Chains A and B, each alone.
Chain A
Amino acid sequence: METKRDIEKFIDEIKYGRMTRRKFARAMASVGLAVAIMPTGRTRALADDSVPTVFTWSGYDAPEMHGEFDKKYGKAPNFSIWGDEEEAESKMRSGFHPEMVMPCSYKVNKWNDLGFLRPIDTARLEHWPEIIPALDNVPDTVIGGKRMWVPAWWGLTSVTFRTDLAPEYVPADKHTWGILWDEKYKGRLSMIDSLIDGVMAAAIYSGAKDPFNMTDAEVAKLKELMIKQRPLLRFYTNDNTGWQQALASGELVAADSWNDTILNLSKQGIPSMFMIPKEGPMTWTCGIAMTAWVKPEMENMVYDLVNAYLSVDTGIYWVNTFGMGHSNKNVYSHLSADELTKRGLTPGDIDAYIKAGHFQATIKNEPVLQAMYEEVKAGI
């Protein structure tokens, strides 16, 4: 026990005043240096350079999500989790270079312009022929004839409402975004706090021809509608647990939300419904992109990883756990009709179901809309 003796000697020296200032400073400096170096040493030991690093949403790192990859290589990829895509963007701008990212379709254009992405050769993806045809050609993801991104999950953005509190909206032909403007439910409605899921939902309701590429007149009309809506809302929120709890407690009657909301509400036995509004719901799809920083020797591995995320096994786990759709069409035959309806998905023709919605695309006049949205939120 050499160290123990050293420490005892050190303590004795302090106790009996034999420690000189210089000696003490030296000991303190070495402790300080050790503490300062410790974190760098540890991360190096943890991060395995031989597997790709995936930068993605939390939950997407579950072992069930990339089982095929783990089986083939005997180990899991590295993960880094982002809070949202904006945060991810600034992190990558300032020098974080993962091999794989999982943005939603509307982000692909910008991330490509930022030089983050590289094209994917779908011929090298075993599961590519199993992709739902409606997701094959998502707007703004094939750029200059090159596929920059592959779809992996999809879902709908629409209204979830309490059938017991707003019974007049229950019949299928009464389903409308308009419930979010219903004066009767003032203070008990909520919108998602984002351009893509919130403002675009309002744009669909406003009747804009292409919500993602609006004319000035359409923007003016949209603004008026949103100003009208603000006093009716309880909150604008990004927190899906928040709106789920609020719906569950009856604080909210209806909420702009994702289709998975209904799964959690039905688990608690709360009478609720996910609308397919007559104006059309919004369809979103998120997926996988390879980054420009993939080293040639790692390319095969990254393709295997993309492939693993598109597999049927991953899809079944995904739909069961998260309640949203997966892009592999063979997933749905493994799930009962009841389980699918419970998640706001359809047991019928998935392809037609997806096509019925407005596909989220890159918002053309984004800065103008963002500025407008901030003004509306601030009450101007």
Chain B
Amino acid sequence: MVSASETLPSHAMPPLPAGQRLRAWLYRNEAVRGYLLLSPTLLVMVGLMVLPLLGMLAMSFFTQKYVTIDYSFTLDNYWTIFEPSSTPAYFLGIPFYLHKPIYLLLLFKSILISLASTAAVVLLAYPMAYFLAFRVTKHKMAWLILITVPFWTSYLLRVFAWKIILGYNGVINSGLVSLGIIDKPLEFLLYNPFAVIITLAHAWAAVAILPIYVSLEKIDRSLLEAATDLGDSRLERFLRITLPLSLPGTIAASLLVFIPTVGDYITPTLVGGTSGIMIGNVVQSLFSKGNNAPLAAAVSVVSMMTITIMVCIFLWSVGRSRMTRREI
């Protein structure tokens, strides 16, 4: 590209004052203008996301020496996580041949809990979004606002609410006891991985409903009519038109729920009991009580990388299956 000033002979223009020259340069340079427009967001992102992430990455290569940190480069923290061993530790019958299996084992467990919650969230959210998009004709705004109502209270309170619902003397137990169905409160409701899954599923439901709703809402209704005209049953119509076209929203919803829940630590702390511990709890305790920030950083880096890889594989496979379908 040739800039405007080069096309004119320089002696034809009287020299401009510095301020105007700067302004002229600003107006001409599109990239600079773009970045300037972005700059508030960009500054926040760099300052509050990129720098801390780089700091954490750097930290994972250091060593904690009691109260000080040894800043010489080492991979020891990663070795601690991956060091193999000949005697396995078992989780759900799967052997982990690791010297310190706790980190990868808990990461694996966290991913399973998170996948289960994501599946639960999407299965719950999809019918609600469907209803909103296709059945609700009046007061749509009011319905949408109603869906966001759980978000008006803090996340912590929503988790506590589940403690009250599932608790020993909680809503479910006292209800069942007073109905005479059981004579002793059920103990298996709270303080286990299922309590974590239920709580996560409820807490994140609204996050999932909105993107699915948007993609359902966008579907061209004439496509559905066409499918019916051409002899599709309701189910076929749903599977061939509605579901594929709402896939982008569903995928976005799954990612929105899956990514943050893997590292969640407050939910397992409050409702997980002895068996509901997740990777976030270990990172938290390494940072504070364990007094080993570098190892905690390494564990965080490993879990972030794992999640990134999982998400990439997921997106790649979705993209691939769509492409192959189009080729047919």
Contact = CB atoms under 8 A, between A and B. Distances in A.
Nearest to B66: A113
Contacts of B105: 378, 380
Given A235-B191, A236-B274, A378 B282 contact: yes
A154 B7 CA distance: 85
A300 B66 CA distance: 33
A204 to B, nearest CB: 20
A187 B184 CA distance: 14
Contact of A110 (B67, B273, B282, B292): B67
A86 B282 contact: no
B308 interface: no
Interface stretch (A96-104, A170-178, A322-330, A366-374): A366-374
B169 A375 contact: no
B291 interface: yes
A234 interface: yes
Interface in A218-234: 230-231, 233-234
A114 B277 contact: no
B273 A374 contact: no
Contacts of B66: 113
Contacts of A23: none
Given A371-B290, A379-B275, A113 B102 contact: no
A370 B289 contact: yes
A107 to B, nearest CB: 12
B211 interface: no
A37 to B, nearest CB: 17
A376 to B, nearest CB: 9
B89 interface: yes
A188 B185 CA distance: 12
B292 A378 contact: no
Contacts of B290: 367, 370-371, 374
A268 to B, nearest CB: 13
B292 A86 contact: no
A195 interface: yes
B317 interface: no
Most buried by A among B191, B282, B289, B291: B289
B301 to A, nearest CB: 18
A205 B181 CA distance: 40
B187 interface: yes
B321 to A, nearest CB: 36
Nearest to B273: A235
Contacts of B106: 378
B168 interface: yes
A184 B215 CA distance: 55
A113 B65 CA distance: 12
Contacts of B74: none
Given A114-B67, A249-B168, A249-B169, A377 B274 contact: yes
B34 to A, nearest CB: 19
Contact of A377 (B100, B169, B277): B277
B288 interface: yes
A359 to B, nearest CB: 21
B102 A380 contact: yes
A297 interface: no
Contacts of B306: none
Contacts of A188: 187
Contacts, number: 64
B228 interface: no
A188 B187 CA distance: 9
Nearest to B89: A380
Nearest to B109: A378
B289 A378 contact: no
A234 B289 contact: no
A50 interface: no
Interface in B279-306: 282, 285, 287-292
B168 A87 contact: no
A35 to B, nearest CB: 14
B101 interface: yes
B274 A374 contact: no
Interface string A345-380: 000000000000000000000110011001101111
Interface in A181-211: 187-188, 194-195
Contacts of A251: 167-169, 185, 187
A233 B274 contact: yes
B306 to A, nearest CB: 17
Contacts of B167: 251
Contact of A187 (B100, B187, B277, B285): B187
Nearest to A188: B187
Given A246-B168, A249-B168, A249-B169, A113 B67 contact: yes
B87 to A, nearest CB: 12
B274 A87 contact: no
B290 to A, nearest CB: 5
Interface string A245-277: 010011100000000000000000000000000
A231 B292 CA distance: 28
Interface string B165-191: 001110000000000000001010001
A367 B291 contact: yes
Contacts of B292: 367
Contacts of A43: none
Given A90-B288, A236-B274, A374-B285, 6 more contacts: A90-B287, A113-B66, A234-B273, A234-B274, A251-B167, A380-B105
21 contacts: A86-B288, A86-B289, A90-B287, A195-B289, A230-B274, A234-B273, A235-B273, A249-B168, A251-B169, A251-B185, A251-B187, A366-B291, A367-B292, A370-B285, A370-B291, A371-B100, A377-B274, A378-B105, A378-B277, A378-B282, A379-B277
Interface of B: 66-67, 89, 100-102, 105-106, 167-169, 185, 187, 191, 273-275, 277, 282, 285, 287-292
Interface of A: 84, 86-87, 90, 110, 113-114, 187-188, 194-195, 230-231, 233-236, 246, 249-251, 366-367, 370-371, 374-375, 377-380
Across the A-B interface, the 10 shortest Cβ-Cβ residue pairs:
A251-B168, A86-B288, A249-B169, A235-B273, A370-B290, A114-B67, A380-B89, A113-B67, A233-B274, A378-B102
